[in-house]
Every structure is written in C-alpha cells, then in structure tokens.
C-alpha cells in the first residue's frame, strides 16, 4: 500500500473501528491540586519527588520504594515519603552522550529471594564508539555489588552514532528477560538478522540464550533475537491478563507505533513506515509488505512515545488493564483501552511536560517521570 493512503494521515489502521480521542487536560502545572476531569475518573496530580537529572526508567521494589535511573548515569531510590537518596555507588560506567546514558531499570520477579536489579545502558568502547549493554547487580548499603554484564552487543554492532539505543527491559511471567535495541541510526541493520540493532531480544535471567527462541540453531543469525524490524522501541509492557508483549516505537517524522510483539515477527522498519524523513523526503513508498507486521496503532504526527504500563490495580477501577503511554513531543500521558488486539478508546489524560516513563505503584497510584525539571508526579483518585 502506498503512503498516500488517507488512513495514514489520520493515524488509524485500515479496517479498525473508529477511535474516540478525548483531550482531558492541557498545559497543567505539576503543582496543580485542582480537580482534573477525564472520561472515566477524575483525579489530582501530586508532586512526589524531585530528580536532579533526567529520569529515564522506573521500577518499584517490593517494599514500595521506587528505583529511578537518571540518563546522566545515576541510580537512586525514592523512599515512601518521596525523599530521594544519593546516587547508588558502583553502577557500571555509562557514556551519557546524545541519547545514550543510564536507561532502564527492572527488578527480577524473584527479587525478594535473589536481590537482582537489572540496568540497560550505553557502554563506551572508546570516546567515539558505544553499544547497548544489560547488567545486573545487587544493592547493598547503597552500593551496587556483584555486577554481571549479561548482554552486550556484538563487536561488529558497535556504533559511532549516539542515538537509538532503545532500551527498555522487562520480565515475563516465566522470568524471561526481554530488552530492546534501536537501529542506532543505521537503518538497514533493523532488517539484518545478523546484527543486534533494531531488535527486541529475549534471554534467560542470567544472559543465556533460551532454546525456544525463534532463530536458535540457525547460522548467521543472532540467537537472542525475539522480533526485528524496529526503529527504536522505547516502551515494553506485558498485558497482565493475556501475557502478550507490547511495544511502543519511535517513528521518524510521523509513524510512532504501538506494536503487539510476535515471536520471530518482522515489523518492517525501514522497508515500511508511516513516517517520512525529518527533511520531508520519503523513506519508503510503502506502508505494507508481505511478511511484515502492521502496528496495532500509530500516530501521525509523532508523539515521541516512551515508557508504557498496563494499569493493574483497582484505585482507578474503570482504567483497569488500560495501557498508559508516556510521550515526549507534546508532553502527554495517554490512556488506551485495548480489546482483542484493537485500540477501542484513546484519551489524553495530561499535557504536563516531557514524560519519559509511567508505572503503576503498589499503592495503585500512577507514577510519571517528567523532564525539565526532573521530577516524579503521581495521579491520585479525586477526593
């Protein structure tokens, strides 16, 4: 299908039902305490914590404290009262250049037994060359101990580009670890199964390759690959009911995507896209090709999709199992209701500033990481 399809201008998938979009709140200050009205729940915003740098990833510990990464290369713990710790010492050295730095953080599903904390980050080979790595360690007395690098890109994939590192990380219910690596500004590599770039990968929690990965045992293919043809996946989330893996992906100028990830699936970048180059030139004439998967939903213009999370609590009961999406370009927090693999309802809950990540807390509140200035705010049900 050619890119001149009218559907591409609207951001809908051909054959999908019509989606209601509601913009709830615009240009609201993070200090606001007034009532904010939305389609299903009214809520308030509360400042929770000030972050000195650029917050990138969030992950809750079992006791309710919050781990937050700063892209500059710092990991901190936010206490239940919102107080922010000094940086945790001893984390791996990162190259905080361009879009690189300390990126996502996740805890092992059996953290209370093993204490493993996982970090994704850009690691430097030299002042000019870097790659995406995954490390794990244990936080003991504000120190990162027992560091193990469980993944780093093959040497041939090291890049002088400082963009499109990915890199969200998430565990599924079977303790498999998934993580994303962007195309690193080298578009053809997203279609090359012998490179790590432009892929979502799956590993055991110790970095070993699962024998059930789709390309395990095949020659000249990286066996860690789970899906491919990605530009720069910035969000990963598991549907708590179905266990399906979902991803949000930065498009170029237009064409940000929401994808339902399939084992071994090719999502098409850069052979197909709903976006164009930043200078207005065409990347591809096609939005569809045989053997390449379509996004479930896409945005034109791009919204700068980032971290995502399925809401899985009852404090906002009518949002249960809805997908929350953070975004950079318009500084929005989105809510999507998804049924049978289709977006049935889309609502913009906030326009508040560049939102990098969103997580549901153990208390059922919604925590949002914001930039410029760095801070964490949370959504509370209206009193």
pLDDT in tens, 162-192: 777 778 999 999 999 999 999 988 899 999 9
41 is catalytic: no
Catalytic residue among 164, 201, 250, 297: 164
Taking the alpha carbons of 163, 3, 333, 261 in that order, is the dihedral positive or negative? negative
Return the H-helix or E-strand segment holding 227. Answer: strand 225-228
Distance CA 167, CA 158 (A): 15
Query: How much is the pLDDT for 142?
Result: 93
Distance CA 96, CA 178 (A): 23
Whether the pLDDT of residue 22 is over 60: the answer is: no
Average pLDDT (290-306) is: 96
Distances (CA, A) of 276 to 5, 10, 230, 234: 14, 15, 15, 19
Q: What are phi and psi of 185, to 5 degrees?
A: 75, 10
pLDDT bracket for residue 95 (50, 70, 90)? confident
Whether the pLDDT of residue 3 is over 70: the answer is: no
Short-list 193, 164, 195, CA closest to 181: 164
Short-list 323, 267, 327, 265, CA closest to 295: 267
User: In the chain, what are the domains?
Assistant: 6-381 (2.120.10.30)
First to last CA, the chain: 50
Q: What are phi and psi of 378, to 5 degrees?
A: -135, 150
Average pLDDT (134-159) is: 90
pLDDT bracket for residue 80 (50, 70, 90)? very high
pLDDT bracket for residue 159 (50, 70, 90)? low
Q: Cβ neighbours of residue 102 under 8 Å, at least 6 residues apart? A: 56, 69, 70, 71, 72, 73, 74, 75, 91, 94, 96, 119, 121
Distances (CA, A) of 266 to 89, 228, 235: 40, 5, 17
Contacts of 362-366 spanning 24+ positions with Cβ under 8 A? 362/60, 362/62, 362/64, 363/64, 363/315, 364/313, 364/314, 364/315, 364/316, 365/315, 366/311, 366/316, 366/324
């Amino acid at each position: 299908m050619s890119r001149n399809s009218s559907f591409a201008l609207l951001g809908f998938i051909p054959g999908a039902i019509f989606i209601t979009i509601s913009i709830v709140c615009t240009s609201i200050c993070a200090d606001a305490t007034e009532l904010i009205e939305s389609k299903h729940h009214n809520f308030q915003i509360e400042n929770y914590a000030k972050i000195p740098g650029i917050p990138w990833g969030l992950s809750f510990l079992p006791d309710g404290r919050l781990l937050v990464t700063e892209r500059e290369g710092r990991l901190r713990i936010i206490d239940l009262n919102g107080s922010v710790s000094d940086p945790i010492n001893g984390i791996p050295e990162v190259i905080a250049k361009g879009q690189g730095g300390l990126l996502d953080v996740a805890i092992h599903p059996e953290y209370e037994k093993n204490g493993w904390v996982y970090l994704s980050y850009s690691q430097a080979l030299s002042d000019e060359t870097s790659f995406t790595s995954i490390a794990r360690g244990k936080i003991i007395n504000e120190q990162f101990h027992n560091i193990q690098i469980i993944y780093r890109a093959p040497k041939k994939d090291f890049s002088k580009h400082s963009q499109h590192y990915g890199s969200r990380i998430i565990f599924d219910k079977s303790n498999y670890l998934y993580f994303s690596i962007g195309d690193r500004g080298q578009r053809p590599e997203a279609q090359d199964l012998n490179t790590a770039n432009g892929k979502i990968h799956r590993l055991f929690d110790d970095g070993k390759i699962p024998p059930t990965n789709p390309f395990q045992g095949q020659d000249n293919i990286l066996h860690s690959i789970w899906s491919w043809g990605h530009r720069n996946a910035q969000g990963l989330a598991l549907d708590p009911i179905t266990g399906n893996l979902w991803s949000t992906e930065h498009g170029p100028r237009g064409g940000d995507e929401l994808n339902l990830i399939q084992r071994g699936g090719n999502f098409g970048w850069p052979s197909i896209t709903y976006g164009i180059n930043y200078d207005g030139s065409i990347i591809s004439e096609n939005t569809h090709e045989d053997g390449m998967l379509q996004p479930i939903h896409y945005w034109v213009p791009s919204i700068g999709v980032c971290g995502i999370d399925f809401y899985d609590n009852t404090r906002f009961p009518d949002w249960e199992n809805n997908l929350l999406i953070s975004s950079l370009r318009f500084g929005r927090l989105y809510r999507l209701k998804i049924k049978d693999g289709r977006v049935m309802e889309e609502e913009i809950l906030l326009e508040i500033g560049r939102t990098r990540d969103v997580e549901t807390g153990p208390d059922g509140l919604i925590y949002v990481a914001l930039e410029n200035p760095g801070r964490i705010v949370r959504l509370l049900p209206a009193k």
